[in-house]
Amino acid sequence: MVLSPRFKALATSLVLASSVWGQTGLAPKKFLSLPLGQVRSAGWLTDQLTIQINGLAGHEHEFYHYVSQSDWTGGSSAYSNLEEAGSYWFNAMIPSAVLLNHTVINQKTQDFLDYVLSHQDSTGWLGPEVGTTKPRYLWGRYPFFFGTIQMVENNPALTDRVVTALHKFVALANTMLKNNQGVEPWTATRWEDFVITLQWLYDFHPNGNEAILIDTMKRLKWTGVPWEQVFNPQFFPTKAVDNTPNPFPALTWHGVNMAEGLKALPATYRFTHNQSDIDAASKGWDLLFQYHGRPSGIYAADEYLAGLEAIRGTELCLVVANLKLCTPKETMFSGSYLYQVIGDPKFADRVERITYNALPATLTGDMWTRQYLQQQNQIAAKNMSPNPFPNDGAYSNVFGLEPNYPCCTVNHPQGWPKFVSNAFLTTPDQKSLVHLYLGPFSTSTTLASGNKVTSNVDTLYPFSDTLTTTITATAAFTYYVRIPSWVVGGTIAINGAAAKAVTPSNGLQAVQVAAGTTKFVLNLPAPITTESRPHGSIAVHRGPLHYAFDIPRSQKVLTRNAQESRAVDLEFDATASWQYAIDPATLKFVNKPPASGKLPSPVFDAGQPPVSITVTSCPINWSTAGDTFAAAPPTNPACTGSQRTITLSPFGATKLRIGEFPSFKST
């Protein structure tokens, strides 16, 4: 069996684990990710990455003070974490630039890496504290480590330099932890990110340091937050935590930390081998969404867990999962990791929902502005008075350069590219390729026994139910593709044969692929469904997309950056009524595929997606609270005017919206 160097290292470390360390080694993952660059976007997803790099993400290094140096020498800023901002920028921009072959940013990230590595001090420390008297806390470098892993995987020539520097840092960190140094509340909360880096070293480049790597993982866990207790149903908060005393350190109920903490338990499992860590991770995931979840896929935490009410906020970093103050992208990243360790398809279904709904909803179509907090029912994006967010500023839902906090400005670009690079996996024996997240992709890798395979997925998904996949392989193998849980009546047609019903097992459809070229067409329809929300309201879904009423809006420029005129802060106000009840019995799916076969660009903007849902509605009395946000949806409201048909749009394309409606019975 011929293994690629990466997998050879894994196989060696597993042997070492069982022969030397036995149960004290690392438990294997259920699925393995592919090195950055082997999974690439295609079609509309490439367009989405391109919009992002042509927007704020790809230009902020030119003017935005937190990251406008190409090195870490910028000195202390008011935010006191050039290290944090730089570290996040690095982690996010590596996959952004690699997936688009972006020469300028690839060079910037290389410069960043070179600078940091060449300034490692004699003790092994990495970061802007070198040569200063700044206190040395471990966590600011964790996103930097994630960045270095991606760079090495994409460019193996960097391996020795990076791995040597990391092992040197690990030895120092281990000594610091033994001496009770280096841990402040953020390090205590985010220890799992370092553990994941240590596990990468253990799996692929242990260099004889297995014992200290495992010892450091354990020390990080025992000096850190006890996530298995935080996610224990006995302590888990079942409503907004505004006035609830927290038995654990306050930061544990912070939304982004929870998004990161979700990967602490599977990471712990790998060195404890204790099934209870897996069970707690899975249960914690369910509790989080049961009590704080949103129809957009994400959960609510305007800093701290915020319950189910539709006006409470969700931080952008929570979505993408990795900044001091940012949630959807952190959750996407954690969900990908949970799937790789545990293999339960519920994690993948939710990551896909978050990516195609909550993430684009919180950025303008051109990706030059982003919010700090998004709302499920959002009737204005402006300076709010009174402010519905107990722990965030009145400016939090403005679309701009750095509303409320700067963190999401540097962290948000990791969301789309990491979704792409985690979209394909392999089975642990590397004999099979697994297509996990559905969308347009182009993947090329070498499986076990030197089986060179490519997979090209041609689709407008999630704006279409049809995916055409073309696979080439030098030898026969079993290919897997995820069939989401919402699919009803899905079919597969292989090599032009008649379509047959899909038969997934644990969410995966097996396809037997012969040497040469194999082509199959999936048709994955889904019924329209409604979800019960507070106050008797309902939310509408079809397949991966959540649908909302897109409130017509006016736009006002609040500020414009002096150096970069495209970096603006925008206020949005409703220009039409949004107070409607809808009749769920009348929901009707409308699909107008683009004649050109190509989606408009950007697709996540008003009126752009080719799919929509119509519904019979009637106007109702629905009050505002302090002019800027909607009161809770009224329960069983009376119609105040005649019935009319309104159109619901994919949530990600709406910037002002109603996503949770009162319902009524039409006549």
Q: Does 640 bind ligand NAG (CB under 6 A)?
A: yes
Reduce the DSSP state of residue 360 to 3 states and report it.
Answer: helix
Q: How far apart are the first and last CA of the chain?
A: 68
Least separation in angstroms between residue 435's CB and ligand NAG is 18
Bridge partners of 109, per DSSP, are none
Find the Cα–Cα–Cα–Cα dihedral 508, 511, 512, 518, rounded to 10°: -150
Q: Does 391 bind ligand NAG (CB under 6 A)?
A: no
Least separation in angstroms between residue 46's CB and ligand NAG is 6
Gap between the Cα atoms of 520 and 507, Å rounded = 18
Nearer to ligand NAG among residue 39 and residue 380 (C-beta): 39
Nearer to ligand NAG among residue 24 and residue 181 (C-beta): 24
Nearer to ligand NAG among residue 487 and residue 630 (C-beta): 630
Q: Does 38 bind ligand NAG (CB under 6 A)?
A: no
Phi, psi of 660 (to 5 degrees): -130, 115
Say if residues 583 and 665 touch (Cβ distance below 8 Å).
yes
Least separation in angstroms between residue 17's CB and ligand NAG is 17
Reduce the DSSP state of residue 152 to 3 states and report it.
Answer: helix
Least separation in angstroms between residue 392's CB and ligand NAG is 31
Least separation in angstroms between residue 274's CB and ligand NAG is 4
Least separation in angstroms between residue 229's CB and ligand NAG is 8
Half-sphere exposure of 1 (CA within 13 A, CB side): 11
Gap between the Cα atoms of 494 and 337, Å rounded = 31
Nearer to ligand NAG among residue 209 and residue 272 (C-beta): 272
| Closest among 352, 384, 257, 301 to 546, alpha carbons compared | 352
Nearer to ligand NAG among residue 247 and residue 593 (C-beta): 247
Binds ligand NAG by CB under 6 A, chosen from 575, 638, 644, 665? 638
| Closest among 439, 381, 358 to 653, alpha carbons compared | 358
Find the Cα–Cα–Cα–Cα dihedral 324, 325, 327, 332, rounded to 10°: -30
Nearer to ligand NAG among residue 488 and residue 638 (C-beta): 638
Distances (CA, A) of 126 to 26, 83, 87, 218, 269: 26, 10, 11, 22, 28
Reduce the DSSP state of residue 574 to 3 states and report it.
Answer: strand
Gap between the Cα atoms of 436 and 507, Å rounded = 9
Least separation in angstroms between residue 418's CB and ligand NAG is 16
Least separation in angstroms between residue 36's CB and ligand NAG is 12
Count residues contacting ligand NAG (CB under 6 A)? Answer: 10
Nearer to ligand NAG among residue 101 and residue 565 (C-beta): 101
Nearer to ligand NAG among residue 36 and residue 319 (C-beta): 36
Bridge partners of 399, per DSSP, are 570
Nearer to ligand NAG among residue 269 and residue 572 (C-beta): 269
Q: Does 228 bind ligand NAG (CB under 6 A)?
A: yes
Binds ligand NAG by CB under 6 A, chosen from 32, 53, 100, 311? 100
Least separation in angstroms between residue 55's CB and ligand NAG is 16
| Closest among 546, 603, 236, 557 to 374, alpha carbons compared | 546
Q: How far is CA 307 from the centre of its chain?
A: 20
Nearer to ligand NAG among residue 252 and residue 376 (C-beta): 252
Binds ligand NAG by CB under 6 A, chosen from 4, 24, 46, 466? 46
Q: How many CB atoms lie within 10 A of CB 185?
A: 16
Q: In the structure encoding, which two tokens stand for residue 204, read together?
A: 């692929």
Q: Does 207 bind ligand NAG (CB under 6 A)?
A: no
Amino acid at 455: S
Question: Could you give the angle at the alpha carbon of 91 between the alpha carbons of 454 and 326, nearest 5°?
Answer: 115
Q: What residues between 568 and 607 interact with ligand NAG by CB under 6 A?
A: none
Q: How far is CA 550 from the centre of its chain?
A: 24
The conformation of residue 555, written as its DSSP 8-state character, comes to E
Quickly list DSSP for 280-314: HHHHHHHHHHHHHB-TTSSB-EESEE--S-TTSEE
Least separation in angstroms between residue 280's CB and ligand NAG is 7
Q: Does 621 bind ligand NAG (CB under 6 A)?
A: yes
Least separation in angstroms between residue 493's CB and ligand NAG is 27
Q: What residues between 275 and 314 interact with ligand NAG by CB under 6 A?
A: 276
Least separation in angstroms between residue 91's CB and ligand NAG is 20
Nearer to ligand NAG among residue 82 and residue 457 (C-beta): 457
Gap between the Cα atoms of 37 and 650, Å rounded = 30
Least separation in angstroms between residue 78's CB and ligand NAG is 38
| Closest among 151, 140, 118 to 190, alpha carbons compared | 140
Nearer to ligand NAG among residue 100 and residue 522 (C-beta): 100
Least separation in angstroms between residue 101's CB and ligand NAG is 4
Q: Does 101 bind ligand NAG (CB under 6 A)?
A: yes
Gap between the Cα atoms of 667 and 660, Å rounded = 22
Nearer to ligand NAG among residue 101 and residue 133 (C-beta): 101
Nearer to ligand NAG among residue 45 and residue 298 (C-beta): 45
Interface mask toward ligand NAG for 251-280; x: CB under 6 A: -----------------------x-x----
E strand or H helix at 617? strand 611-619
Q: What residues between 450 and 509 interact with ligand NAG by CB under 6 A?
A: none
Say if residues 334 and 422 touch (Cβ distance below 8 Å).
no
The site for ligand NAG (CB under 6 A) is made up of 40, 46, 100-101, 228, 274, 276, 621, 638, 640
